[in-house]
Chains A and B, each alone.
Chain A
């Protein structure tokens, strides 16, 4: 018995070392995920992109991920664990990993890092994000057309510029259809918490909202809207199966092409630290099919999408009027410049609410 065990153990060790040798020539690519890969939202989309990456370059790379990594003291260790496991290119896929990623990047100058949605960079640390506000603008147009009560419900995650610019883009669009449109905003203070998200959706509907939009990651709000016979927009991923009669469209995070491009650059040795902020034109995100709306609304949405993609329509076209009634300084010629949108810290006129912390 003991001999069998020993033989077994030896066999295992040998098997282990053989597979390690064959994996040695492959580039190891690591991913840190905020939620579980089954969140059907943010993390799910990153993992779909990882799978696309494996499909495209699977013979040259090996991918590893750590899921459910909290944005607290554990994040730095999780990232470093990936480095120590031999990963040479590491994608950290949430804003809260910014400082931990930077710390690890400084410690391992020969490893390359890609941080999603942050603003700190280094020689070996890139950032990447998408101009989701473009999609929000299209949603704002649809919402204003479809709302009977004239009240939109918006579930915010955190009052960071990405989310604030999304709210503003929505309202600016909606005001072009209905100047008196109202929006109710609830801050869930989380990216992923189906219970809280559902509660927020219920509260918004109780306050008269009949179109629900969200900047949180689960399909919970879609389900609530569906139960209550209201309309809603999906977030991050295709959520139509949670509301076949409810979903108007959804902003789909399509990271696949970016991941493939960056890994190819790493394989070619041309990887450089960059700041990528892509919109509809560069396919960093896409719009799900426009459903549950009349044909004229659908056409309007498609026209707006085409105009934004072609660069003919800018959601933050000047003048943008702030809550104080004064126009915001117009730094980008005829629209706000990227810096103003990336650091957006104000509500536009027509939002009857106060930005938290202001």
Chain B
């Protein structure tokens, strides 16, 4: 006797839409129990996590700042995943983008370079990220190498390359040997939107990216192609769509967006290139992409929601002395419920009594 997942014959669209809400609801219930066990007041804790960060402008800005790279990367990843191309290496493309863009900032440091610097950094970062993403894409198309493995492994290459640069050739000469470049000049810095805050131009760019992706997927033939190749590869072949070409394209776009997110983070909130510029954005963005159901608007909401849990987690640590580990448990539980709800919408559990003779016959 065994328990198997069996695909449901029909699926409800309504349930598919409310499934993330069910997951969030279940997460909250679980967290209430956890808070109670920890001896913390569950209502106050939930308030600190979800309500307090939404009640003042400062926290709202911080949520937007935190969500910006997540959303930009996740949009790119969603295009890949929709087309059945598994880019796991956005973290590396993010880092290479940051490096490529920083090159101009480092080279023009202290010169009277004009307003062209920042746009040039953006272009170079996007190109760098795209080229870096093309390595696994081309290996996949030409040699059939698993893009999951190659893209993931290239993350570590990018990480070490950045490390080498800031320890060696690009190190701040006045930085006491610490591995960092000098602070970027004002012309090489992403402008702030609100005086005294941290909200920057990058958040607007992220919104533009979301809108562009929504139009691409909803209104263009290319978007249709991406979805068909992912959902029905055979039908796509009959339709004359070239899956290989699409892998190259989606990887390039996703790499470009990750690279752009990288330089925005470096030239924005951080202000210089250093190791550790990404607390795992490229990987967290995978969660964001799926939490947002590979839908641009959904990704925007998911990115903001995940950012909220980061900011809320800090405020809960300050206000209620709730350990950081609880925030991590909380994020883990959320992902668990999202995946569980999704699976149970498409599949159902069934007890199977295997017929040995049949098994032997077909085996």
Contact = CB atoms under 8 A, between A and B. Distances in A.
Interface of A: 8-9, 12, 16, 30, 36, 64-68, 70-74, 76-78, 80-82, 84-85, 95-96, 99, 107, 119, 158-161, 164, 189, 342-343, 345, 356-357
For the complex of A and B, the 10 pairs showing the least CB-CB separation, nearest first, are A73-B269, A72-B276, A85-B318, A357-B167, A73-B270, A70-B279, A160-B177, A160-B178, A68-B324, A81-B314
A147 B310 CA distance: 48
A9 B47 CA distance: 11
B183 interface: yes
B178 A158 contact: yes
A16 B44 CA distance: 9
Given A8-B43, A345-B177, A99 B163 contact: no
B317 A99 contact: no
Contact of B43 (A9, A71, A159): A9
B349 to A, nearest CB: 33
8 contacts: A66-B314, A67-B317, A72-B270, A73-B265, A77-B314, A81-B315, A158-B179, A357-B177
B62 A77 contact: yes
A85 B319 contact: yes
Given A12-B43, A70-B276, A356-B167, A76 B198 contact: yes
Nearest to A82: B318
Contacts of A161: 176-177
A164 B177 contact: yes
A157 to B, nearest CB: 11
A84 B177 contact: no
Given A9-B43, A12-B43, A99-B183, A189 B275 contact: yes
Contacts of A64: 317-318, 321
A73 B43 contact: no
Which of B198, B269, B310 has the most chain A CB atoms closer than 10 A to its own CB?
A: B269
A107 B192 CA distance: 15
B187 to A, nearest CB: 19
Contacts of B310: 74
Contact of B171 (A85, A107, A357): A357
B176 A119 contact: yes
B328 to A, nearest CB: 9
Contacts of A95: 178
B184 to A, nearest CB: 12
A161 B178 CA distance: 8
B156 interface: no
Which of A66, A74, A160, A343 has the most chain B CB atoms closer than 10 A to its own CB?
A: A74
A68 B269 CA distance: 19
B271 A99 contact: yes
B58 interface: yes
Interface in B148-206: 163, 167-168, 171, 176-179, 183, 196, 198
A65 B321 CA distance: 8
Which of A78, A161, A357 has the most chain B CB atoms closer than 10 A to its own CB?
A: A357
A159 B265 contact: no
B306 to A, nearest CB: 14
Contacts of A80: 58
B117 interface: no
Nearest to A33: B324
A68 to B, nearest CB: 5
A12 B28 CA distance: 19
A71 B179 CA distance: 12
Interface string B268-310: 0111101111110000000000000000000000000000001
Given A81-B315, A357-B177, A189 B163 contact: yes
B242 interface: no
B315 A71 contact: no
A72 B314 CA distance: 15
A66 B62 contact: no
A12 B41 contact: yes
A72 B277 contact: yes
B196 A107 contact: yes
A76 B176 contact: no
Nearest to A81: B314
A164 B176 CA distance: 11
Contact of A357 (B168, B279, B321): B168
A36 B351 CA distance: 45
A12 B178 contact: no
Nearest to A342: B176
Contacts of A164: 177
A78 B179 CA distance: 22
A68 B310 CA distance: 13
Contacts of B278: 72
Contacts of B277: 72-73
Contacts of B167: 159, 356-357
A65 B320 CA distance: 11
Given A36-B324, A82-B318, A161-B177, 16 more contacts: A12-B43, A16-B44, A66-B324, A68-B324, A72-B278, A73-B270, A80-B58, A84-B58, A96-B276, A99-B271, A158-B178, A158-B179, A159-B177, A343-B176, A345-B177, A357-B177
Contacts of A77: 62, 65-66, 198, 311, 314
A12 B44 contact: yes
Contacts of A160: 176-178
A192 to B, nearest CB: 12
A66 B176 contact: no
A76 B269 contact: yes
Contacts of A85: 315, 318-319
A72 B44 contact: no
B317 A66 contact: yes
A95 B180 CA distance: 12
A99 B277 CA distance: 14
B179 to A, nearest CB: 6
Nearest to B43: A12
Given A72-B277, A357-B168, A81 B318 contact: yes
B318 A66 contact: yes
